[in-house]
Amino acid sequence: MKQTIKLSLIAASVLALTACNQKAEEKPVEVKLETELQQQAYGIGASVGNFLQKDLADKKGFGVELDQALLMRGFQDALAGEAKLDEAKIREVLTALDTSVRELQAEKTKVDAEKNKAEGEKFLADNAQKAGVTVTESGLQYEVLSTGEGKKPLVTDVVKVHYKGTLIDGTEFDSSYSRDEPTTFPLNRVISGWTEGLQLMPVGSKYKFTIPANLGYGERDLGKIPANSTLVFEVELLEIQEEKAEAAAE
């Protein structure tokens, strides 16, 4: 929290100083990035500016819109030694701002999680009625897109797969296809929907899994995957690596 407050103040200072300089000179300063020192100076300003832009946008998203004119005025007054708030008061009000934003963020996350849960339940109910969709006892839903002729993995196996993951609205949050590189993992180290689902697949198969939130990431908010998200995966099981290792040993 202290680091966030510090960065916010630095960023505000940079913006205010830039505005003051431009007003005094009545025209934009020519940007020269010919030397490494010039690039470093510009890089510091750009980095702090990017931080402040995102920080202000995030706060605005929670209904907290800060007056940028006052932000710049605060810098000017402090630079002139005429700040209207002392350091103790500044810490107090910025701490209160941080607390308020955190509370608003928590409330929004809670509301979004409840919405995601309701929408996910409806999606699962509708999807379960589609031809070719099977629902397991746990609530996992799967559809066979193509069937291979290899063995099915055990929970203790290491598997190699290609996959694409989306939210129920079609938003893609991860894809090994996009990276053009399959991924390998122990089957007992992933979300339970994957652990259960991949054991149904013979090597060489491609399945579509619709995974309820409780078999995925549950109430955790992972950014790209919001809390209580129902997930949709297309997965190709390429090989069982433990089996490959045993064959090589023999």
Catalytic member of 62, 173, 177, 185: 173
Instruction: Give yes or no: 217 in active site.
Output: yes
- Of 21, 15, 148, 9, which Cα lies nearest the Cα of 83? 9
Instruction: Using CB atoms within 10 Å of the CB of residue 174, give its burial: 0 to 12 exposed, 13 to 18 middle, 19+ buried.
Output: middle
CA distance 241 to 158: 5
Catalytic member of 5, 10, 90, 191: 191
Q: How far is CA 60 from CA 64, 68, 77, 166, 200, in A?
A: 5, 12, 25, 27, 46
HSE-up (13 A, CA, CB side) for residue 230: 23
Question: Which residues, 6+ apart, have CB-to-CB distance to 246 below 8 Å?
Answer: none
CA distance 138 to 127: 15
Instruction: Give yes or no: 191 in active site.
Output: yes
Instruction: Give yes or no: 174 in active site.
Output: yes
Catalytic member of 75, 142, 209, 233: 233
Catalytic member of 75, 217, 225, 240: 217
Q: What DSSP element (H or E) covers 195?
A: helix 192-198
Catalytic member of 5, 174, 177, 221: 174
Instruction: Give yes or no: 173 in active site.
Output: yes
Instruction: Classify residue 214 by its DSSP letter.
Output: G
Q: Is residue 4 within 8 Å of 51, Cβ to Cβ?
A: no
Instruction: Give yes or no: 211 in active site.
Output: no
Amino acid in the structure at residue 179:
R
Catalytic member of 75, 163, 207, 209: 163
Instruction: Give yes or no: 142 in active site.
Output: no
- Of 213, 215, 166, 177, which Cα lies nearest the Cα of 193? 215
CA distance 224 to 232: 14
Question: What residues act catalytically?
Answer: 163, 173-174, 191, 217, 233
